[in-house]
Amino acid sequence: MSQNRSHAVMAQRAEPHDSLDFFPTPPWATRALCWHVLRELFGPTEDMTVWEPACGIGSMVMPLKERFRRVYSSDVHDYSHLWPGQERVDDFLMYGSESPCIEKQGVDLIVTNPPFRLGVQFARRALEAPFVHRGVALLVRTAFLESVERHRLFTEHPPAVVAQFVERVPMVKGRLSRTASTATSYAWIVWARGNTDTRLRWIPPCRKALERASDWPADEVAA
């Protein structure tokens, strides 16, 4: 029997309830957020601070460091053996898990690719945190826009922008892969304090312009 490769089937990504749901973000997708979304909403970000609370192996942290003055990184799992840049091992969903520095000084933004099944909890935690001064950006499957539970989230906390990728953003469980492909569609959902007039934007084709050889494992670049 041949495999069913329809879009509806291929776009599904089922994970066990206790899975870390660790799918590293291709760095170019974070640069796309910075160039095509955040600059329009917030202006220059070079003097801003940001927290990535599901940092994994740092694939989102590194491009954020290109555009922000200070990037904090943490994850519920210890990935420091794969990426020494991880600063803390903390459960973002536990109130009080933020570092003393973040609690005292706050951050301008939270930017992350949350576990899909915990996306609503990540959004609420970030949006309701008093130490987040300007906004929140979550990279999610476009299917995240559906469901009654998420409708409640969007009604109570209307985002400023839904930025839909027109290109696919391929992600592979547990690793970065330059050659991966996917049928799953992704978008950035961005909330900005005081901005509740949700707009739909398209992120134009930009992978070729924004990715770098240094983003990928050496064996992938050489392939």
pLDDT in tens, 109-167: 999 999 989 999 999 999 999 999 999 999 999 999 999 999 999 999 999 999 999 99
Q: What is the rounded average pLDDT for all residues in the chain?
A: 91
Q: Which two tokens stand for residue 214?
A: 């240094």
Helix (H) or strand (E) holding 100: helix 100-105
Please indicate, yes or no, whether the overall pTM of this predicted structure exceeds 0.85: yes
Cα-flanking dihedrals φ and ψ of residue 191, to 5°? -105, 140
**pLDDT value at position 10?**
38
3-state secondary structure (DSSP) of residue 223: coil
Q: What is the pLDDT of residues 57-71, one digit of tens each?
A: 999 999 999 999 999
CA atoms within 13 A on the CB side of 170: 12
Sheet holding 161-165, edge to edge: 88-89, 70-75, 49-52, 107-112, 132-141, 186-192, 161-165, 199-203
**Dihedral sign from CA coordinates of 6, 9, 12, 13:** negative
SS (H, E, C) 144-198: HHCCHHHHHHHHHCCCCEEEEECCCCCCECCECCCCCCCCCCEEEEEEECCECCC
Among candidates 52, 31, 57, which has minimal Cα distance to 107?
52
Where are the chain's structural domains?
Answer: 21-222
- Taking the C-alpha atoms of residue 84 and residue 165, their distance in angstroms, rounded to an integer, is 30
Q: Which two tokens stand for residue 188?
A: 């950035």
**pLDDT value at position 67?**
97
3-state secondary structure (DSSP) of residue 71: strand
In the predicted structure, residue 6 carries a pLDDT above the cut 70: no
Residue 36 — pLDDT band, cuts 50, 70, 90? very high
In the predicted structure, residue 9 carries a pLDDT above the cut 90: no
Question: What top-level class would CATH report for the domain 21-222?
Answer: alpha beta
**pLDDT value at position 124?**
97
**pLDDT value at position 17?**
42
